[in-house]
Structure 1
Amino acid sequence: MKITGRTASDIFENIRREAHAGRLAAGQALPPVRELAERLAINRNTVASAYKKLVAAGIAETLGRNGTVIRPPAHAGEQEGMPPGSPLMDLAGGNPDPAWLPDPLRALAASGYQPTLYGAPVLDPELERLAHQWLGPDCRDDYSLTLAHGAVDAIERLFAAYLVPGDKVAVEDPCFLGSLNTLRCAGLGPAPVAMDEHGMRPEALEAALAEGAQAVLCTPRAQNPTGCNLTGKRALELSRVLARHPHVLVIEDDHFALLAQAPYFSIVPPTSARWALLRSVSKGFGPDLRMAFVASDADTAARLGMRLAPGTTWVSHLLQATVRGLLGSEVAMARIRAAGGVYAERREALIAALRAHGLAAQQPCDGLNVWLPLPTGADAARVAQALAQMGWCVRTGDAFAVESVAPALRITVSTLEPAAATRFASQLGRYLREA
């Protein structure tokens, strides 16, 4: 490996060029700092500075005693949804039931749309009023409001505003697929926080922060994949942990807010300087309505606003008019409330059916999914394969794992009628007994 340069910038550029050209392969170790410094006849601090820049740029990573190595290119992991045309019953996709989505075209026709040109306000004024009505009661008095193209986009923008490649983010373990993919693409490291039926465990969050996590991403209710909800007591315990780390960015992804049956409890302490509450409309109005509201402190809103300025990347006012029409329609919102009740009934029907066969799903839960820990020794992949042969498609828990996870299945219930739930639980129970 030939590395040249007399300054940290020269060394950095040389290694970056070699890595991008493929002459330095992923996982290939760079020379130890002392060795390269002697080879180039320069100060060790110069090499150390170059390596630090490579890590910050996401080109290399430090592996402690194993030195500094070229970082593998970012790649997306598993995605939500299933390919169209599958003959299997979809209990894996994580989607809402299309039959319960309100009609966006009717809402748009009722609310009206005026073509928006460069220089117009970023936020539709009436939508802004409805958003404040929705988020305001759950935020500090001095919060600011911005928009993003969905919750995952908002999370990516928040990370980009404050973090650099190599930073750690405390996340629930198991964790939402979209969050894990966002971390990978941004070159950030997930710091796993173990959970129980009430969400993040306080001592696990404290450990992740002690190890240097610069941000916390938490789902206060309907956590995906487990469906768990923070209680008021647990939220207070987590808030007390975060109060000892006021510099940490705290993001609450309240993605299921439109449909949630569980109450919302915040983990953001008064001492947090950087925080954001996200509420997406995708689960209630449909995944194709790519919009999320972001309530945050003023500085965070200003940083996000720079990326959503008029004339560059504002959220489409056509989408805003559609969401405005839906949020402002009593008919549409009544349908949303009814859909939330239907999803709750389908969750409970599946949980009861599983219980009848000696299988205990995680409870209490909310959202579109049920999390089912499997018996000790069960192979989740084999269970999923067997279910596929019976006509059912489910996701295994390892797709959501940050570290190790006990064998489990995530079962999407949004379109699962009670009779089908009974049949699914019977077939799964029989397989596990005979396996």
Structure 2
Amino acid sequence: MSVELARRRLNVDLLARELGNWRTSSASGPAYQGLSDGLRMLIVDGRLPVGAQLPSERALADALRVSRTTVTAAYTQMREDGYLRGRQGARSTTALPVSAAVTTPTIVGTASANLAAATLAAPAAAVSRAFVEAAEQVTPYLHDIGIELVGVTPLREAIAERYCRRGLPTDPDEIVVTTGALHAIGLIMATYTQPGDRVLVEQPTYHGALATMATKGLRPVPVAMTHHGWDLDAIDAAVRQLSPNLAYLIPDNHNPTGMTLPPEGRRRLAQIIAETRTRTIVDETITDMWLDEAVPPPFAASMTTRRDLVLTVGSMSKSCWGGLRIGWIRAERSALTTIGAMRPSVDMGTPIVEQLAAARLLAMADDLLPERRDILRGRRALLLELLDEHLPDWRPDPSRGGMSLWIRLPAPMSTALSAAASRMGLEIPPGPRFGVDGTLERFIRVPYTLPDDQLVEAVELLARAWRSVTGTGPAGADVGAVVV
């Protein structure tokens, strides 16, 4: 159990709101059973962090307008089921039963279909042309040592120009080029954190960032997203209560949900960051992949004060091609100076030819991106049709962009599904990979980036895997018990 979560107390009013109409679960049984089921599913779905302290029985009873006996019985049931732990003289803390602990299944052999990577193949002609031109432009750099710790000027100018056009005035010296977005995230964490520090994250979130935190010994503090997006009250409460050393957020075409924080939410979040002085990584790697409506201006434009607290990460991987390995950090000069002092201990810069190719591709972005968005719209529509045909009980969350659907399963069996799929030749990570402490078993991320024929094959395999772990027939009829 994480130390910071063991000390985290859940706000009773926020908890009551998360429970919603929990009484419907007890229509055919005692009220305490419905309350216990409601709390248990909040833990399983990742809406309540493991290790957090539940409100006192009296406080929750008052908030829910039920008897204290009902809450006491619900807490007792949760302890018996392994979802609550009590210590002498301390409040009970949320937990997962030992049998519910999840690990990532080992993928054996080569999968015939892959739903693990949410990224498109390259626009081949444009990328090839960009590399030819980059090779022609590299000659002047050959007369130097070839180490560019901040990035070549043409690329930093191209990146800065795109921020200016999106409503965030940016100079080239407010950009540092990195070897991909994950490298940028790692550099920031290496600069501003020490092992054991807390990092506030959305739940769910990008699994690569969570892996980086684990490698560096950092302790992620999850704040659950709702069906409608960000719970800013919960973020505010968590930041003020736990004082994380850093926050990591994805406000545009969020990975994995595809949601975008609207302008009013951005203003509120900017206020929270400024008031609490929370240094924040804003991951904008999927910003260009909006599908239904354009995303708002860069989040950093919402910061009217303390602009130094926000470090924006961008990348070419989603909008163009992952093989470029080109990312960047956009931040105030003082922050980049601090990061620059750390960088030589991590790496010696990003390859120059790839940077020059990336600069050329950014110049072509207005021609390339509309076609790539059209591809994603078509494949998203196909995926929704396939799910409706093969897995009609699955419920995708609403999204306006991004490259995947975040889907609610009828039963919390995501890890079992992932393992069964891998045995059939389909690679897909389980929901808990995108969260903290083994929750999110009721969810799975399904990208819509594969070509149509491969997407059809992948969903058919996914449906077979689901039937194998749930014991349901091809039409969805129950042929065996499903444990929920």
**TM-score, with normalisation over the residues of structure 1?**
0.71
Quick one: structure 1 residues 141 and 324, their matched pair in 2 at CA, closer, same or farther if it must change by over 3 Å? closer
Find 1:238's aligned residue among 269, 294, 312: 269
User: In 1, distance between residues paired with 2:202 and 2:428?
Assistant: 21
For structure 2, the 5+ residue unaligned runs are 1-88, 91-102, 468-473
Aligned residue number for residue 86 of structure 1:
110
Aligned residue number for residue 151 of structure 2:
123
Find 2:208's aligned residue among 171, 175, 178: 178
Alignment of 1:132 onto 2:132: no
Pairwise CA distance, 1:370: 1.3
Alignment of 1:296 onto 2:331: yes
Pairwise CA distance, 1:252: 0.7
Alignment of 1:192 onto 2:222: yes
Asked if 2 retains the 8 angstrom alpha-carbon contact of 1:183 and 1:189, the reply is yes
Pairwise CA distance, 1:302: 0.9
Asked if 2 retains the 8 angstrom alpha-carbon contact of 1:275 and 1:300, the reply is no
Aligned residue number for residue 281 of structure 1:
316
Quick one: structure 1 residues 171 and 269, their matched pair in 2 at CA, closer, same or farther if it must change by over 3 Å? same
Quick one: structure 1 residues 291 and 365, their matched pair in 2 at CA, closer, same or farther if it must change by over 3 Å? same
Which AA in structure 1 matches 2:339? L
Quick one: structure 1 residues 397 and 124, their matched pair in 2 at CA, closer, same or farther if it must change by over 3 Å? same
User: In 2, distance between residues paired with 1:169 and 1:101?
Assistant: 38
Q: Any idea what the Cα deviations from partners look like across 1:167-211, whole Å, max 9, x if unmatched?
A: 111111112111011111111110101102454311221122121
Aligned residue number for residue 219 of structure 1:
250
Corresponding residue SS for 2:319? helix
Number of equivalent positions: 354
Alignment of 1:320 onto 2:355: yes
**TM-score, with normalisation over the residues of structure 2?**
0.65
Asked if 2 retains the 8 angstrom alpha-carbon contact of 1:105 and 1:322, the reply is no
User: In 1, distance between residues paired with 2:207 and 2:459?
Assistant: 28
Aligned residue number for residue 249 of structure 1:
279
Pairwise CA distance, 1:249: 0.7
Which AA in structure 1 matches 2:375? V
Asked if 2 retains the 8 angstrom alpha-carbon contact of 1:198 and 1:231, the reply is no
Alignment of 1:96 onto 2:119: yes
User: In 2, distance between residues paired with 1:286 and 1:138?
Assistant: 25
Corresponding residue SS for 1:220? coil
Alignment of 1:382 onto 2:416: yes
Pairwise mapping of residues 147-166 of structure 1 onto structure 2 (< 5 A)?
147-166=177-196
Corresponding residue SS for 1:306? helix
Aligned residue number for residue 263 of structure 1:
295
User: In 1, distance between residues paired with 2:477 and 2:262?
Assistant: 35
Asked if 2 retains the 8 angstrom alpha-carbon contact of 1:151 and 1:255, the reply is yes
User: In 2, distance between residues paired with 1:204 and 1:289?
Assistant: 37
Larger mean Cα displacement after TM superposition, 165-174 or 234-243: 234-243
User: In 1, distance between residues paired with 2:176 and 2:324?
Assistant: 16
Corresponding residue SS for 1:200? coil
Alignment of 1:415 onto 2:442: no
Asked if 2 retains the 8 angstrom alpha-carbon contact of 1:144 and 1:297, the reply is yes
Corresponding residue SS for 2:252? coil
Find 2:379's aligned residue among 332, 342, 346: 346
Quick one: structure 1 residues 406 and 203, their matched pair in 2 at CA, closer, same or farther if it must change by over 3 Å? farther
Asked if 2 retains the 8 angstrom alpha-carbon contact of 1:276 and 1:295, the reply is yes
Quick one: structure 1 residues 243 and 308, their matched pair in 2 at CA, closer, same or farther if it must change by over 3 Å? closer
User: In 2, distance between residues paired with 1:139 and 1:82?
Assistant: 43
Asked if 1 retains the 8 angstrom alpha-carbon contact of 2:104 and 2:415, the reply is no
User: In 2, distance between residues paired with 1:233 and 1:149?
Assistant: 33
Aligned residue number for residue 43 of structure 1:
none
Corresponding residue SS for 1:382? helix
Asked if 2 retains the 8 angstrom alpha-carbon contact of 1:151 and 1:280, the reply is yes
Find 1:364's aligned residue among 399, 410, 413: 399
Which AA in structure 2 matches 1:276? L
Higher helix residue share: 2
Asked if 2 retains the 8 angstrom alpha-carbon contact of 1:94 and 1:369, the reply is no
User: In 2, distance between residues paired with 1:221 and 1:147?
Assistant: 21
User: In 2, distance between residues paired with 1:228 and 1:101?
Assistant: 29
Quick one: structure 1 residues 362 and 320, their matched pair in 2 at CA, closer, same or farther if it must change by over 3 Å? same
For structure 1, the 5+ residue unaligned runs are 1-64, 67-76
Quick one: structure 1 residues 234 and 153, their matched pair in 2 at CA, closer, same or farther if it must change by over 3 Å? same
User: In 1, distance between residues paired with 2:351 and 2:290?
Assistant: 26
Pairwise CA distance, 1:431: 7.1
Quick one: structure 1 residues 383 and 165, their matched pair in 2 at CA, closer, same or farther if it must change by over 3 Å? closer
Q: Any idea what the Cα deviations from partners look like across 1:237-292, whole Å, max 9, x if unmatched?
A: 322322321x2111110111343334145265323332111110112332221221
Asked if 2 retains the 8 angstrom alpha-carbon contact of 1:374 and 1:409, the reply is yes
Which AA in structure 2 matches 1:139? L
User: In 2, distance between residues paired with 1:99 and 1:248?
Assistant: 37
Which AA in structure 2 matches 1:402? V
Which AA in structure 1 matches 2:295? P
Q: Any idea what the Cα deviations from partners look like across 1:149-180, whole Å, max 9, x if unmatched?
A: 11111111112222222111111111211101
Q: Any idea what the Cα deviations from partners look like across 1:97-138, whole Å, max 9, x if unmatched?
A: 326455534212124222442387643222222111112334
